[in-house]
Amino acid sequence: MARNNKIKYHKSTKEKNNKKTKIILIIGLIAIIISTTIIITKNKNNTTKISKIGKNSTSQEIVDYILNISSYETQIDVEIKSNKNSNKYKLSQSYIKDEKSIQEVIEPQNIQGVKIIKEKNNLKIENTKLSLTKIIENYQDITQNILDLSAFIENYKNNKNSKYTEQNNQIVMETTALAENKYQKYEKLYISKETGKPEKMEIKDTNQNTIIYIIYNEININTYNANLTHTNIRSEGYGNKKRRYVLC
């Protein structure tokens, strides 16, 4: 009799333990489902917020959107002035943050197809019959970091005097170039309040003369979901490092 009671007791205890285990597993599963739902909803809300950047966005939201760019593809018209002449180029650019940027010449025809690939501190030139010396001497303009939208963004982040204003239906982001170059001192990026996309950029010398003028004909932007503000932007060094040239 005692033996039967002992068996029943162990059986009852085992059933209770199994029941507790099932309850714990169910609670854990519910917690995982709730956590996953919250994360998905949060990401969806961030994506929705980014996709709606445009005429209903505040100026600060649009500025943060630009500063959060992780990659872009664009086609630009560039005019670069010097003391002697003015050179015009049509270029396509693609950029992936922390990886590389590629710039290809569309016009003028004599250097059409020349690609300038920047990876970290290296600069590589591809698809050209011209010598490296000739490119550096005659077409150094198109190898400059300053032509990249990403360079403007880093200058803006790293300069405490950077600011933005509203003019007509545009937001104008202003900053000062990091590199010590009197011919490329002040930078202005004009952004459409309707679309949240860059329309043009001006780079001026110390006398406020426009030296570089860029028009963004087409631009496709990908941006991080993080919400950056002027107070929490991480400072990153850029523009003052030496580059190594490679001709391919």
pLDDT in tens, 204-241: 999 999 999 999 999 999 986 544 333 333 323 333 33
Average pLDDT, the chain: 80
**What mean pLDDT is predicted for residues 83-89?**
90
Alpha carbon distance 173, 190 (integer Å): 7
List the chain domain ranges.
Answer: 1-51, 59-247
pLDDT at 236: 33
Cα angle 178, 182, 183 (rounded to 5 degrees) comes to: 100
Could you say which architecture CATH assigns to the domain 59-247? Clam (2.50)
Residue 139 — very low, low, confident or very high, per pLDDT cuts 50/70/90? confident
Q: Which helix (H) or strand (E) element contains residue 215?
A: strand 210-223
Single-letter code of the amino acid located at 113:
G
pLDDT at 182: 83
Dig out the tokens for 4 from the structure.
């039967």
Q: Is the pLDDT of residue 80 over 60?
A: yes
Under a CB-based contact definition with an 8 Å cutoff, are residues 175 and 157 in contact? Answer: no
SS3 state of residue 238: coil
Q: Which residues 6+ apart lie within 8 Å of 104 measured at CB?
A: 91, 92, 93, 113, 114, 115, 116
Alpha carbon distance 114, 89 (integer Å): 12
pTM for the full predicted model: 0.69
The tens digit of pLDDT for each residue in 50-75 reads: 446 767 899 999 999 999 999 999 99
CA distances (Å), origin 174, targets 7, 62, 114, 237: 82, 14, 31, 19
pLDDT at 178: 77
**What mean pLDDT is predicted for residues 4-17?**
57
119-126 long-range CB contacts below 8 Å, 24 or more apart? 121/241, 121/242, 121/243, 121/244, 122/243, 122/244, 122/246, 123/243, 123/244, 123/245, 123/246, 124/245, 124/246, 124/247, 124/248, 125/245, 125/246, 125/247, 125/248, 126/248
